Structure 1
Amino acid sequence: MLIMIAAFGLELAVYAAAGYWGFTCSRRWPVRVLAGVGAPVLFALVWGWFGAPTATYPVQGLGRVALEVLWFGGGAAALWLRGRRTLAVAFVAVYLVTTGAQLL
């Protein structure tokens, strides 16, 4: 149960990381607002289409693995690009632990 809660928290953290990246990616406020709102929306659309339990086009097998690596890797990359390298590494570590624990 605790692993499932951590995995869900990590999914939410992807949205937060994407928003953080967007709102800090430029000095110009229109770009920040567009990227800060647009990046999490884009992540939500992709997850809703392919990754959610009620996904429109659910992927399985290697497609699911690729989706999760890109999804959670995108969250880590957003943190890394904004200079939060320790947080990005911790993000990847938590992903690996929760994914490994779910396989057991």
Structure 2
Amino acid sequence: MKAANSVVLFLVELVELGAPAAAAYWGFTVSWPLGLAAPAVLVASWALFGSPRAKYKTRGGAGRVGFEVLWFGAGVLALFAAGAPVRALALALVCGVSKALAVAWDQ
């Protein structure tokens, strides 16, 4: 079970990197400044609201779920907007599965 927990934590970390990467991918399809700004906005919002040491941390419950849906949803929508619907669907599925496992195993 300990190995499974480690795999889920690794998957969650990859997903957390996937959303800003998707935003950068979309941004660079539009212009290079947007390619730099889009992931910066996501990273800043994660630092302010989502990280364990966030200044305005969203606690558990509806607030946290809402923040994560918006944050990870931004990555999924960015991939759709960039013309990569298969990648967007894959990111959405991996986000959903990893978050469901993290909640099920209290991580």
Q: TM-score, normalised by structure 1?
A: 0.91
Give the match for residue 98 of structure 1. Answer: 98
Give the match for residue 79 of structure 1. 79
Task: Quote the offset at 1:103 in angstroms.
Answer: 1.6
Residue deviations 1:23-79 (CA, integer Å, cap 9, x gap): 002xxxxxx121000011100110000000100100122111011000110000000
- How far apart, CA to CA, are the structure 1 residues paired with 2:50 and 2:103? 17
Separation in 2, partners of 1:43, 1:103: 22
- Equivalence for 1:46: 45
What is the 5 A alignment of 1:1-104? Answer: 1-25=6-30, 32-60=31-59, 61-104=61-104
2:3 aligns with: none
1:3-25 deviations in whole A, cap 9, x for unaligned? Answer: 11011001111111011110002
CA distance in 2, matches of 1:37, 1:88: 20
For 2:52 and 2:22, the matched residues in 1 are separated by: 22
The ranges of structure 1 where at least 4 consecutive aligned residues each deviate by more than 2 angstroms after the TM superposition are none
List runs of 5+ in structure 2 lacking aligned partners: 1-5
TM-score, reference length from structure 2: 0.88
User: Structure 1: which 5+ residue stretches go unaligned?
Assistant: 26-31
Aligned-residue RMSD, C-alpha: 0.7
